[in-house]
Structure 1
Amino acid sequence: MARHIVIGKGPVGAATARLLDEQGHEVVVLSRSGGDGSVALDVTDTASLRQATKGAEVIYNCAGPAYHRWPTDWPPIANALLDAAESSGAVLVTTGNLYGYGPVDGPLTEDLPLAGTGTKARVRIGMWRDASARHEAGRIRMTEARASDFFGPGVTGTGHLAQRLMPALLAGRAVRMIGNPDAPHSFTYVPDIARALVRLGADERAWGRAWHVPTAPPLSTREAVRQLCRLAGLPPAKVGRIPWWPLHLAGLVNPMLGELREVQYQFDRPFVLDSQAYTATFGEAPTPIDEALGATVEWWRARLGR
């Protein structure tokens, strides 16, 4: 039975821990606050993290610093994890995103340059380059699973298919979203992210490069709402658009809203992830979209008592 360390108890970390447990592995979840089956540990405390990861086969970075604190919080977390992977000999698998590519015309593939210039993009690019440098020097083994906006059971944040949409939809109200409701957008199902993380940590072919998590064909927000209503047995909900100007104005005092300006392009134009390289290499396809959206509806109904 292998020992696996999951950093973070959010939706991705929890799903990854469950999958590893189902496979019969020893799983330890580390989080700053503890609780929910996790062990309290400040992962920036390098000495404590090294001790906690001794004997680990794989370390999964599923941490999720507050959106507006990425520049201050991510570097010490990432560096401590690199040191722990080097000390323990464990494979480091990082949950990544698509910010590093910046605005791109056409589908996003892993061979695109990391040309993003925004603050959050530079943070993620720096993390990737630091990890790659240690891998190329033979000091660690690492890989990264990059996903688009994720959704599914347990996801309660402000993403497209979560807190911003589901409560209103299930209450039969109109839905108001930021960005272009008709722009194609990729959504990645959290159980597929967990499955990819576990696969990449165990397969030598994955190490030393980034992979896009298997993701269903893109949907516009309007199409997603239509399918969610159908699966929920509800009449189609009206979809409205929230203009950017009040959000930018509110961002002057709300740091979370202020961060949206950098990624506005992800909401206003097509944002499509291509995961064919992963599927061709590992033979795993994304969960069918109706199954994924249906599970999301049922989880939200249970959460909201509807």
Structure 2
Amino acid sequence: MSLQVVIGNGPAGAATAALLAEQGERVRMISRSPRENEPRLEHVALDAADQAALAEATKGATAIYSCAAPPYPRWATDWPPLQASICAAAEANDALVVSLGNLYGYGPVDGPLTENLPLAATGTKGRIRALLSEQLHAMHDEGRLRMVEVRASDFFGPGVTDGGHLAARVVPNVLRRQKVQVFGDPDAPHSWTYISDVARTLVAAAREEKAWGKAWHVPTGPPRSARVMVALLCEAAGVAPVAVQRLSPMLLNAGALVSPMLRELREVRYQFDLPFVLDSQAAQEFFDIAPTAEKDQFARTVAWWRDRSATVS
């Protein structure tokens, strides 16, 4: 039985580790926080940027899933050494790197986002994501390691509590029948990637050698505006529609003076003020993976949040 190592216990890492374990794989999850081991799932607490420690923790691994993400304000300082450590561990152990990326590297694009677009972002976070991607692909082309990259849009679904813009600021308000405030134009079309589909695509890409050395977009459903997404969440929750309002740009700018997170969000505001549409047809056809049915996405998301609220209360 091969060892699969997942780095990062966020929504994507947790979903990927759980899927691998369900499929009978031996899984080791690496994160900073200690956790109890689970059936077929071992937890190891360490700083993945520590090259010596990570190389030791990944001994015997056939694949290393890179799913960790530093906080927004620390992307430029924390992500390059983290990826360097992951690559060093992969080289030392002859393991495949399965890298979870996003769409920031493309920058603003007029039209659907496809995998063959140049990584032309000019903002700090966009350039970091582009640089990391370019480095991985270069190392693959040089024969130093084997890799495959999977890019997703904003996460949505069970386990997604931060970011994603449809998480802690939105779903609980729907369940409380309170108005929802969203970042950007509430009527702009936007692609939302269901978290289970992220895990399914990462695992499929790792197992298909013909996919290696390339970037793939996670199979994602049709774009929906934030207003439509909230309406569908209300429908799934069995509650009356709630009001959807745009967060005031003036208040956001004022908040950015004191909040590092809000300052960082200004760079990607275009993703929510303008149409932001992911084209995932190539991956759907290559891996024969369709996005999870929309009805199931919303039903499972509402059920997860209800369970979470009951547990917290």
Normalization by structure 2: what TM-score?
0.96
Say whether the 8 Å CA contact 1:158–1:164 is kept in structure 2: no
Which one of 111, 116, 124 corresponds to residue 119 of structure 1? 124
Letter matched to residue 5 of structure 2: I
Q: Which residue is equivalent to 1:300?
A: 305
Listed one character per residue, the Cα deviations across residues 32-63 of structure 1 (whole Å, up to 9, x for unaligned) are: 22225421111111111111111111000010
**Distance in 2 of aligned mates of 1:217 and 1:148:** 12
Listed one character per residue, the Cα deviations across residues 143-162 of structure 1 (whole Å, up to 9, x for unaligned) are: 11100000111111132211
Equivalent residue of 1:39, what SS? Answer: strand
Consecutive unaligned residues of structure 1, counting only runs of 5 or more, are: none
Q: Which residue is equivalent to 1:35?
A: 35
Equivalent residue of 1:143, what SS? Answer: strand
Letter matched to residue 116 of structure 2: D
Equivalent residue of 2:228, what SS? Answer: helix
Q: Which residue is equivalent to 2:137?
A: 132
**CA RMSD after TM alignment:** 1.1
Give the CA deviation at 1:250: 1.1
Which one of 217, 220, 243 corresponds to residue 248 of structure 2? 243
**Distance in 2 of aligned mates of 1:166 and 1:215:** 20
Of 36-45 and 68-77, more deviation after overlay is shown by 36-45
1:4-15 aligned within 5 A: 4-15=4-15
**Distance in 1 of aligned mates of 2:6 and 2:237:** 33
Letter matched to residue 27 of structure 2: V
Give the CA deviation at 1:283: 0.7
Listed one character per residue, the Cα deviations across residues 164-188 of structure 1 (whole Å, up to 9, x for unaligned) are: 1011111011111121111110000
Listed one character per residue, the Cα deviations across residues 235-285 of structure 1 (whole Å, up to 9, x for unaligned) are: 111111112121122112110111011000001010010000001111111
| 4+ long deviations beyond 6 Å | none
Q: Which residue is equivalent to 1:151?
A: 156
Letter matched to residue 113 of structure 1: P
Q: Which residue is equivalent to 1:21?
A: 21
Listed one character per residue, the Cα deviations across residues 75-107 of structure 1 (whole Å, up to 9, x for unaligned) are: 000001111111111110011000000000111
How many residues end up aligned between the 2 structures? Answer: 306
Q: Which residue is equivalent to 2:92?
A: 87
Consecutive unaligned residues of structure 2, counting only runs of 5 or more, are: 38-42
Normalization by structure 1: what TM-score?
0.98
Q: Which residue is equivalent to 2:191?
A: 186
1:57-72 aligned within 5 A: 57-72=62-77
**Distance in 2 of aligned mates of 1:178 and 1:244:** 9
Q: Which residue is equivalent to 1:97?
A: 102
Of 45-54 and 95-104, more deviation after overlay is shown by 45-54
